[in-house]
């Protein structure tokens, strides 16, 4: 869930919204919906989110009124809050904040380089009544509120949380090294294909996984090989390999890659009545194979659905995510276990 404070409507603010949205979609833990908190120019922001919310407590300075409106609007158990002027977010931001809530804390917020970033926080829905009481009392400082409710500070070793407030900031961000993680946008906020011609080739590997949940009888047919369409997993394995090889044809900004290997593994889970799929893709080149691995997983699961839909149209695909990647300038990355 994403709550963003957007007070002004100009070109660079809208560009920053796109940057932040891209960073949210790149999180290692999936986000269900994107919400924007904006009291003016609402129509301009509707194209960038699932909903645009306005304050229920107009006139209060700071983000707490927008946070209250978002907490009131969500059905989920938690709300991820981000400002619109901090687009350089670590991919594990949500993962690490969520881990801090496991012990029962009602909120967690980011820290880096000895500084707190209270506007970058993860909040539980249960905070809504107390927040309303606070706003009614005219109290609106976010850090003080987080301290009083027992919010957990979460340290990030890399100081990603730079404020971008001007067109010049966006220009410098676009010209920066991959440090910002936003290379598919240019200085005008337009999508473009990244020029990788000057990068050094390295061995690159990516692992991705996902699952498809089905009726127990459907799973039994797959396991026994008695499905009327034949070897479901065998065909899904071939589909995964084909999907990895055709990723650049499916995803607009991906580069065609010379894959050196695609390994596909399935695991049948009777306890949850689902098929797990894991794909490892590898190449020796100048850009990573994360998209190839993720595409292969999704194509494999779609193939299972296609082959079994005649007897089980309610199958559900979920949990599709990157597990690990190696190689390239950013080195090794490993998702936290779920």
Kindly report, residue by residue over 223-234, the tens digit of the pLDDT: 988 766 679 999
22 secondary structure, DSSP code = H
Give the CATH architecture of domain 202-334: 2-Layer Sandwich (3.30)
> Is the pLDDT reported for residue 254 higher than 70?
yes
Render pLDDT for 59-115 as a digit per residue (tens, 0 to 9). Answer: 777 789 999 999 999 888 899 999 887 877 888 889 999 999 988 899 999 998 788
pLDDT higher than threshold 70 for residue 284 = yes
**Catalytic status, residue 306:** yes
Alpha-carbon gap, residue 174 to 277, rounded angstroms = 36
Q: Report residue 320 CA to chain centroid gap.
A: 11
| The pairing of beta strand 78-81 with beta strand 2-3 | parallel
Catalytic residue among 147, 169, 186, 306: 306
Arithmetic mean of pLDDT over the chain: 82
Q: Considering the entire predicted model, what is its pTM?
A: 0.52
Q: Cα–Cα distance between 261 and 156 in angstroms, integer?
A: 34
Can you identify the CATH homologous superfamily of domain 2-180?
Spore Coat Polysaccharide Biosynthesis Protein SpsA; Chain A (3.90.550.10)
Angle at CA 101, nearest 5°, toward 96 and 102?
Answer: 100
The predicted-structure confidence for 192-206, as pLDDT tens digits, reads as follows: 455 444 455 788 999
User: Structural domain boundaries of the chain?
Assistant: 2-180, 202-334
């Amino acid at each position: 869930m994403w709550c963003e404070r957007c007070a002004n409507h100009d070109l660079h603010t809208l560009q920053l919204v796109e940057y932040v949205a891209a960073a949210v979609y790149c999180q290692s833990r999936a986000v269900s919906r994107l919400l924007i908190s904006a009291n003016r120019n609402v129509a301009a922001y509707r194209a960038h989110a699932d909903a645009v919310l306005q304050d229920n407590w107009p006139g209060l300075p700071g983000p707490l009124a927008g946070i209250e409106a978002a907490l009131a609007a969500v059905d989920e158990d938690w709300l991820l809050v981000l400002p619109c002027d901090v687009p350089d977010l670590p991919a594990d931001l949500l993962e690490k904040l969520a881990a801090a809530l496991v012990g029962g804390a009602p909120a967690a917020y980011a820290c880096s380089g000895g500084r707190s970033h209270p506007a970058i926080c993860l909040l539980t829905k249960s905070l809504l009544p107390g927040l309303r009481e606070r706003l009614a009392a005219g109290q609106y400082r976010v850090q003080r509120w987080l301290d009083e409710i027992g919010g957990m500070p979460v340290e990030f070793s890399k100081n990603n949380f730079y404020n971008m407030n001007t067109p010049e900031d966006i220009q410098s961000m676009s010209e920066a090294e991959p440090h910002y993680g936003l290379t598919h946008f240019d200085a005008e906020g337009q999508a473009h294909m990244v020029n990788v011609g000057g990068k050094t080739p390295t061995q690159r590997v990516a692992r991705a996984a996902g699952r498809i949940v089905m009726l127990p009888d459907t799973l039994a047919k797959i396991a026994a090989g008695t499905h009327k369409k034949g070897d479901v997993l065998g065909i899904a394995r071939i589909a995964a390999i084909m999907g990895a090889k055709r990723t650049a044809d499916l995803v607009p900004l991906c580069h065609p890659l010379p894959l050196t290997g695609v390994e596909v593994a399935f695991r049948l889970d009777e306890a949850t009545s689902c098929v797990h799929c894991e794909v490892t893709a590898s190449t020796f080149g100048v850009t990573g194979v994360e998209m190839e691995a993720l595409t292969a997983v999704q194509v494999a699961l779609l193939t299972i659905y296609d082959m079994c839909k005649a007897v089980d149209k309610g199958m559900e695909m979920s949990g599709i995510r990157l597990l690990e990647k190696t190689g390239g300038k950013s080195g090794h990355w490993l998702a936290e276990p779920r």
